[in-house]
Structure 1
C-alpha cells in the first residue's frame, strides 16, 4: 500500500502523522518491523533525515522503538498519554494521595535545610493566606494556600521536589475551587486552618523535621478524608 507523496510544509510533522496513521489504523500491528528509512523516504517523497526525525517523534509518543541492528518496531498502537494529560484526568483524591507523599517528605527536609530567606518567604505566604481569607475571595484564598505549601516545598532545597509539586498545582487549584464551592468553608472552620499552617511554619523554623511532617500529614489527611467520605465528615476541609 503506497503512502503517497507529501505536500511541501513542515515535512517532519506530516511524515510523523502519516506514519502514525498507519500504526493506529492497524496497517502495522504491534511487533511489526517498519520498512527501512530508504523505503519510507521513497514512499513519502521526503529525505531520509526527515524520516529519521519523524520516527523519533513516534518513539517519543511511545509507538515505536529502535532495536540495535534490527530496525524500528511498532510497540503500541495508541500514543502514550503524557504526564500533564494524565494529571488533568486524575481525581483530586488521587492527586492528594501523591501530594501527601511529596509534602510530608518536603516538610521534613525543609526543617533541616531552610534558610533565612525561606523563613521570610514562609512568613509572607502565611500572612498572605490570612489576608486572602479575610477578604472573602475564594480563588485568592486557594491561591494563597497553595503558595504557602509551595514555599514549604521550596524550603526543602530539592528542585526536583519543587518541580513535581508545581506539576500538581493546576489540578489542585481546580479541584480545591470546586471543593470550596460545595461547602461553606467559613462556617465550617472559622480559623481556616490557621493553627495548622502556622504550626508548619513554626516546625520548619524550629528545625523540627518530625513535627513538620506530622503537621502536613494531618492537615492533608483532613482534606483527603473529606474527598473520600464527604457524607461522613464533620466540619468541612480547610486546606489547599
Structure 2
C-alpha cells in the first residue's frame, strides 16, 4: 500500500495520521501484520525513529499491537475501539454486558427515531444474515449480524451512543461468533433471531424494542453460565 510522502514539519503526527488512515480504510485488516519498519521508512521517506515513535503512539491507543520478534499487528480500527477492547479484554460476559447497556437504549431510540429507509435497511440485513446462515458462511454471518446491531443503534440518531457503539465493532463481531457455538452440540447454529426486534422498531414500539434487545442478550448471558 503506497503512502503519501510526508512533509518535513510534524513528521511523527503525519505518520500517525497516515498509518491510522490505512487501518480505518481497511487496507490493513484487523489481525494482520503491517509492513515492516524498513518498508515503512522507505515508503514514507522518514527516519526509523519517526516510524517507531508513530507505531508506539498507535500501540498505546490500542490500534496497533507490537509483538516482540514477530512484528506489529492491527488490533482495532479506532482509538475508541482500542480503548474498549482493553477494557473488555476477551471476557465474553463483559462484552455481552456492555452490549446490553448500549443496545437496549439504542433499540428504544430506534423505535421512535428511525426512518422508513432505515427500517428497510434492517430487514435487508436480516435477509442477508439468514442467507449467510443457510449457506454456512459463518464469518460473513458474524459480520452481518454485527452490522444489523450497529444499524439499530444508528437508527436512534444519537451521535454519542452511535460512536460509542461503533467503537465496539470488533468485539461485537467476535462475540457473535463466540455465542454462535455456546450450546453444546449446536456449533455454528445460532438459535436467536432478531425478527421481533426489527418488527418492534418498524412498529414504533419503544418498550417492545427495548425488551427484545434485552431479552436475547439476557439469554446469551444465561447460556454462558450453564455448566
User: Shorter-chain TM-score: which interval?
Assistant: 0.5 to 0.7
What CA distance in whole angstroms lies between the structure 1 residues aligned with 2:125 and 2:158?
Answer: 19
Is the Cα contact below 8 Å between 1:87 and 1:171 reproduced in 2? no
Unaligned runs of 5+ in 1: 1-9, 14-56, 62-81, 232-240
Aligned runs of 1:123-138 on 2, under 5 Å? 123-138=123-138
Give 1:209's aligned residue: 206
Report whether the alignment pairs 1:174 with 2:165: no
What CA distance in whole angstroms lies between the structure 2 residues aligned with 1:109 and 1:12?
Answer: 41
Give 1:193's aligned residue: 192
Deviates more, 1:152-161 or 1:85-94: 85-94
Is the Cα contact below 8 Å between 2:85 and 2:168 reproduced in 1? no
Residues 131-170 of structure 1 deviation map (CA, whole Å, 9 limit, x = unaligned): 1111112111111111111111111011211111121121
Unaligned runs of 5+ in 2: 1-9, 14-56, 62-81
SS of alignment partner, residue 156 of structure 1: coil
Is the Cα contact below 8 Å between 1:125 and 1:147 reproduced in 2? yes
Q: TM-score, normalised by structure 1?
A: 0.56
Is the Cα contact below 8 Å between 1:92 and 1:172 reproduced in 2? no
Is the Cα contact below 8 Å between 1:87 and 1:168 reproduced in 2? no
Report the CA distance shift for 1:12/1:124 in structure 2 as closer, same or farther (over 3 A). Answer: closer
Report the CA distance shift for 1:11/1:211 in structure 2 as closer, same or farther (over 3 A). Answer: closer
Give 1:35's aligned residue: none
Runs of 4+ in 1 over 4 A off after TM superposition: 10-13, 181-184, 186-189
What CA distance in whole angstroms lies between the structure 2 residues aligned with 1:187 and 1:85?
Answer: 24
What CA distance in whole angstroms lies between the structure 1 residues aligned with 2:181 and 2:200?
Answer: 31
Instruction: Choose 1 or 2 for highest CA Rg.
Output: 1
Aligned residues between the structures: 152
Deviation at 1:83, TM superposition (A): 1.5
Residues 101-142 of structure 1 deviation map (CA, whole Å, 9 limit, x = unaligned): 110001000001010111111111111111111111211111
Aligned runs of 1:28-107 on 2, under 5 Å? 83-87=83-87, 89-107=89-107
